[in-house]
Every structure is written in structure tokens, then in C-alpha cells.
Structure 1
């Protein structure tokens, strides 16, 4: 399995809009991608503009397909101006 961890810091005035948009992105991914096994969205309870995404795909190719999806492009374009910072790290699950 291929694991993706993404951390976002969102401009505070866009935190609510980002929350709604990222939850839709998670839902779209799970509904449309057979190889997307998990897509969790978490928020820091002490900083509601800090989000953590935990995603599991069958393999790296499935993640590449995820990033090529139209709804991913729409998500990236819509939230891009709201993002202060973003970091992405990938892992291979071993258990």
C-alpha cells in the first residue's frame, strides 16, 4: 500500500471554506477511485486552519491517477489561493 500524508496551513479567513472543499475532495476520491482505500481529513483542535490528510492507495500508480483526476485539478485550483503552506510525504505501508 502507498500512503500519502499532507499537511496544510490555510489562511485563517478561508479555513471554513477549505474544510468544506477538502471534505468534498475526500468524498470524490473515495467514490471515484477504486484504488483509493482511505482518505481521512483531520484538523488541529487548537489551530483550525491546520489540516492533515491521510490517504492510502493500492500503489504509487493509483496516486498518480488520483492526481490526474479532473476533480483533483478543480480542488487544487480552488484552494490554491487559500494555502499558506503545504507539505506532502509518501510512505510504503509495511503492516
Structure 2
């Protein structure tokens, strides 16, 4: 199984989660709908931290992720959300095992 995985951990300004979620949800949906190389884009709310959002994204390869970085929906997300974020951590990796039900 191959794939390029991106994990993004956002620490948000207190009270900004609803506004951030509107922006990131639109970006996630547009990524899956408009980008053939985007296989998965999940938005996760950790239960123990109300000011944190984690993204789990899978792309076919690094080139597909690089294409994602140039999309209008990502630019719109960044413009709408940069002021809501206090810290952003990105981890890139290779998909080593996909735990599916197959």
C-alpha cells in the first residue's frame, strides 16, 4: 500500500473553534471532491482539548499533496483561518499499512 500522509495539529485561539471548523470543513470537502489525488481528508476534534483540531489526510503521492497546496480552496481556508491559529504542527509520512475491512 502506498500513500502520502499528512497530519496537521492546530492549536486554536480560545473560542474560535466554530469559525475554524466552518473553514476547514469546506476545505476538506473541496479537497476530496476536486482533487483526484486526495484519498482521505478527516477533521478530528480531540475530546480532551476544545481548542485543538487535528487533520488526517491521505494523498496518492507527494505530487498530489503538492498540487493540493496550490488549490484555491486551500488558499481560501488559509485566508479565513490564519488569524484563528496559535500553533500549527505538520507531520508528513508514508502510509505503511492501511487497516481496512477488506
TM-score per shorter chain, which class? over 0.9
Larger proportion of strand: 1
- Residue 76 of structure 2 corresponds to residue 65 of structure 1: no
Structure 1 residue aligned with 2:49: 47
State how many pairs are aligned. 95
Distance 1:46 1:92 in 2: 27
Larger Rg: 2
TM, length-normalised to structure 2 = 0.89
Structure 2 residue aligned with 1:94: 96
How much has 1:74 moved relative to structure 2? Answer: 0.9
Structure 1 residue aligned with 2:87: 85
Larger proportion of helix: 1
Root mean square deviation of aligned Cα: 0.8
How much has 1:13 moved relative to structure 2? Answer: 2.1
Distance 1:20 1:52 in 2: 14
Deviant stretches of 4+, over 3 Å: none
Distance 1:48 1:33 in 2: 30
1:5-16 to 2 correspondence within 5 Å?
A: 5-16=7-18
Distance 1:82 1:44 in 2: 17
Gaps of 5+ in 2: 98-102
Structure 2 residue aligned with 1:27: 29
